[in-house]
Amino acid sequence: MAIKNIVALAGGVGGAKLADGLARVLPAGALTVIVNIADDFRHYGLHISPDLDTVMYTLSEYANPTTGWGVRDESWNMLSMLETYGEQPWFRLGDRDLATHLLRTSALDRGETLTEITQKLAKGLGIQQTMLPACDQRFATMVDTVEHGTLGFQEYFVGHRWQPTVTKIWYDSDIHPTLTDATVTALEAADAVVICPSNPILSIDPILSIGNMRTRVQNRSVPCIAVSPLLNGKAVKGPAAKIMPELGHKASTQGILDFYEGIIDTLVVTHGDAPPQSKTYETTILMKTIDDRVSLAKDLLDYLEKIT
């Protein structure tokens, strides 16, 4: 059976890179990226969806190639004026980026769903694949820390640069969150599920924790593979290697395998990083260039064809 439709689960920068590789390799419309929204927050009244933004800017080539987040050729004059007013903004809002936040926030405030406005924004930037927020309801990662008590995700991640020691992660939501119809439809049409190299605890677990997502992925009839966010125990970017031990997981291929037990068929890891007899596939997973993204995406599709 040929792989036609892929669902990818993604968080921020690392996940966005692989999603971009898959988007470039697959025909238009064949890829659906389900994106973490548990790090969404309101800042100066704006609804900000950092992971949706990172995926969207990456898929549309608007991403800042240096940081991986934010918009390329960005200016920071709004932020500078906020500082003139005596504010000390801890989250960097770029001028171009603000257009996204204003459109999203005003759409949400007049009753559109996050799914609807995400489609409009992605289409506006010329994206030909589908991007879906994991949920249309509030579902927020909360971080209990030794040093500062309970923090909102962005306070932990950006405000404190993920330096506090984490004792617990939990989700705060207004009502019991459910998968969107669009997400369910995409999952039912998928010939394979790819978990991108995003933080398993902070980016992928929130997606799996919405509604019956985890059960759906566990009970799937199609292959599911994950690309490890670690290379020889180290994260390319972000707190994966720090937070996993803090929460009792090994910061290693074995730790990721244990975390995704029952969820994935195969963990894709870098050369020499597979424990003996483990359900792994070793290949080049570090994505420094656009070509690296495309190569990894092709490699994964070939692998999926083989195991299907």
Residues that bind a second copy (CB under 8 A): 44-46, 71, 74-75, 77-82, 84-87, 95-100, 102-103, 105-106, 109, 121, 124-125
Q: Which is nearer to a second copy, 4 or 42 (CB)?
A: 42
| Nearest distance in Å: CB 89, a second copy | 9
What's the rounded Cα separation, in Å, for the pair 155 and 211?
Answer: 26
Residue 119, phi then psi, degrees to nearest 5: -60, -45
Minimum separation from the CB atom of position 155 to a second copy (A): 17
Are the beta carbons of 6 and 194 closer than 8 angstroms? yes
CB 145 within 8 A of CB 167: yes
To a second copy, the closest distance from the beta carbon of 248 in angstroms equals 39
Distances (CA, A) of 218 to 9, 47, 214, 223, 233: 14, 32, 6, 10, 26
Pick between residue 45 and residue 262 the one whose CB is nearest to a second copy.
45
Contact between 205 and 11 (Cβ < 8 Å) = no
Closest to a second copy by CB, 43 or 148: 43
Q: Closest separation between CB of residue 40 and a second copy, Å?
A: 16
Which residue from 152, 174, 176, 172 is spatially nearest to 164, judged by alpha carbons? 152
How far apart (Å, rounded) are the C-alpha atoms in residues 16 and 258?
24
For the bound state, the minimum distance from the C-beta of residue 177 to a second copy, rounded and expressed in Å, comes to: 24
State which residue, 127 or 257, has the beta carbon closest to a second copy.
127
SS3 162: coil
Specify the residue, 86 or 262, whose C-beta has the smaller distance to a second copy: 86
Q: 232 vs 110, 226, 229, 274, CA distance in Å?
A: 47, 16, 10, 9
- Least Å distance, CB 201 to a second copy, is 31
Which C-beta is closer to a second copy: that of 84 or that of 277?
A: 84
Nearer to a second copy, 61 or 302 (CB): 61
Nearest distance from residue 105's CB to a second copy, in Å?
A: 5
Q: Measure the CA–CA gap between 33 and 54, rounded to whole angstroms.
A: 12
